[in-house]
Structure 1
Amino acid sequence: MPLPSAAEMNPSDGGLAVFGRVTLGVMVALVVGGALSMAVLLIPSPVVEIVAAAGTGAAVGFMMSIVVAPPTGFVAGLARRWVRQSRRRALLAGLVVWLVWVVIAALMLAVGLRFPLNLWGNIWPFLPALAVTLLAALWLADRVHHGEEPLTPEELRAEQRRQRAEQKASRPGRQSK
């Protein structure tokens, strides 16, 4: 007997699967980004110091991921149907979520910890982490878009009807009555 898909069992099971994958992906991205940022700071140093700094950065990234990953996974689980409609929507969602977390982190550093983010010397160490997390956000959004759980047959038919209606309405020379 074949196992039913997540959509056949319960629609919320698909959201739970997306939540888990996105949460884990965000955690890995923040750990790698944190390790990379701290290692970059000590590049001309001995290898032992660079590895120690990378370990510290990974620990900081992990602590941040405890706060960032679950809400991001929750949002991805809730928005999975919207994200799966087009790649543009998926990448836009990944970019917006990444940007929201970057703004929150910057505000926490600048306002909460009074860390001066107006000097290039204070900002450039964060760039590797920002790049890694941006790439991870876009990749995870693309994975949600191409996830294993397709739209249910009813959702697919409704989406096709909506697209046909939009195409009909957008044809030149015809007016919808």
Structure 2
Amino acid sequence: MDDELLRRLRTEQARALLDDADPHHAVMLACDLLVAGVDGDAVVALAAESARALPPHDANRRLAAVTEELGLPEPDLPTAVTLVVADTCERILDRSIPAEVGTHHLYVVGYEGSPLDDLLPTVAALAAHLEDDLGGRADDDLRARLAALAQTILHRLTPGNQA
């Protein structure tokens, strides 16, 4: 399995640990694993699911079976937070998730043991502004502030740049 597939798998595993795996991403990941020649029973079962209809709970269960089948241990909490936050920031910056979703997904910085817990007040302030002042719909200013935060986070997560 190449590094990119492993990173994606570890990220969905971390997302399932902290909250719920993204069913669409989990199914697409399983399909990509099959294409790459990783064809265990659990991978095939997840790839056969509907990316639109798979409930998050079932995605978590199927993904856990895949990681068990592949012998991947569950990440520790700080690693899980780092994986999910980095992925969320990348999605914010490439606009593959709406700012409204990305803002709330960044709350994982506040998990116990997070290397980014000092950013929780910043995330909470952006979320409060989004919900209280903007009625839940991001404007250009919030998108710009969120993108700046995402860049800051990714910079901090780059080895050698930790605060």
The normalised TM-score by structure 1 is 0.28
Larger radius of gyration: 1
Question: Highest relative contact order (Cα 8 Å, sep 6+), 1 or 2?
Answer: 1
* Structure with greater proportional helix content: 1
The normalised TM-score by structure 2 is 0.29
